Amino acid sequence: MVDLLYTELLKLKRSRMFLLSVIGAAVAPFMVVVSTYIHIKTKEPTRVVPFQELLFNSHLYTVLLIGVPLYGVVTAYLFNREYMEDTLKNLLTIPVSRTSLMLSKMLLLFMWIMLLSLLAWGLTLLLGVVGQFEGLSASLLVESLRKFMITGAFLSMLSTPLILIAIVLKNYVPTIIATIVITLINVMGSNSEYKGLIPWTAAFDIAHGTLLQAYPPAYSYMVIGAISIIGFVATLTYFRKADIH
């Protein structure tokens, strides 16, 4: 398992995908901070935007708009690379457990998503300090980091259906289409009373403690858990039994 993870890291080291994902993770913080700064300077010079609002908006756009497509591309890359390059059948000729191979990729995906979440948080802070936004404190640092990490963990859990799509259809395109559909659902449902039942918007509300009272919070956890577990079990079951040509 450790050797497989190390091998995946070596393959990633030689790829440009990591750099592209870093650039993608920087989009939301950069756009939020820069647009807020320009708006204040040109439209409302007397307005004071607190750091807390800056972090909230950056987190919102990271999770609901940028995160799903970005992490979906990362997922498609990790789990489709061997199919596209026709190297998976050669890899499986050596004594490598299919379960261990899949778990090592999932672990790497989790680490990757958490790192990108940390990057989005750190870049928001850096740009906010440069822009001289007010209200930054140690408690805000800790609390905002906790929220970014919680949603990062939830989004990595919710990647299991995308992994299943990637290995079943063996192509980047269906996975990317699925992330676009999810993003549209997030946008349309973000102001709905049922947003707590949409796993990706629920993840954001759980982190911020803003779940609506229309139904018990347990429902949101159950939806996230069900989708994650079903996707995980289906992925392992399919990959262990699938014929590799």
Q: Report whether pLDDT(93) > 60.
A: no
Categorize the per-residue pLDDT at 239 as very low, low, confident or very high, splitting at 50, 70 and 90.
confident
Mean pLDDT of 203-222: 89
d(CA 71, CA 17): 11
d(CA 150, CA 52): 17
Mean pLDDT of 206-213: 88
Q: What pLDDT was estimated at residue 91?
A: 58
Q: What pLDDT was estimated at residue 45?
A: 74
Q: What pLDDT was estimated at residue 171?
A: 83
Q: What pLDDT was estimated at residue 95?
A: 65
Q: Report whether pLDDT(94) > 80.
A: no
**Overall domain count for the chain:** 1
Q: What pLDDT was estimated at residue 92?
A: 57
Tally of CB atoms within 10 A around 223:
17
Contact yes or no for 99/240 (Cβ under 8 A): yes
Q: What pLDDT was estimated at residue 47?
A: 76
Single out the residue of 179, 161, 140 nearest to residue 24, CA to CA: 179
Categorize the per-residue pLDDT at 224 as very low, low, confident or very high, splitting at 50, 70 and 90.
very high
- Global pTM exceeds 0.85: yes
Categorize the per-residue pLDDT at 12 as very low, low, confident or very high, splitting at 50, 70 and 90.
confident
Categorize the per-residue pLDDT at 160 as very low, low, confident or very high, splitting at 50, 70 and 90.
very high
Q: What pLDDT was estimated at residue 235?
A: 93
Categorize the per-residue pLDDT at 86 as very low, low, confident or very high, splitting at 50, 70 and 90.
low
Q: What pLDDT was estimated at residue 178?
A: 94
Q: Report whether pLDDT(245) > 70.
A: no
Q: What is the tens place of the pLDDT at every residue in 105-116?
A: 899 999 999 999
Q: Which residues pair with 134 in a beta bridge?
A: 50
Encoded tokens for 179: 């992330």
What integer best gives the mean pLDDT of the chain? 87
Q: Which domain holds residue 47?
A: 2-241
d(CA 165, CA 162): 5
What residue has token string 């498609």? 76
Q: What pLDDT was estimated at residue 154?
A: 95
Categorize the per-residue pLDDT at 230 as very low, low, confident or very high, splitting at 50, 70 and 90.
very high
- What are φ and ψ of residue 133, in 5° steps? -75, 150
Q: Report whether pLDDT(89) > 60.
A: no
Mean pLDDT of 20-26: 93
Q: 166 to each of 37, 47, 54, 72, 162, how far by Cα in Å? A: 40, 47, 35, 10, 6
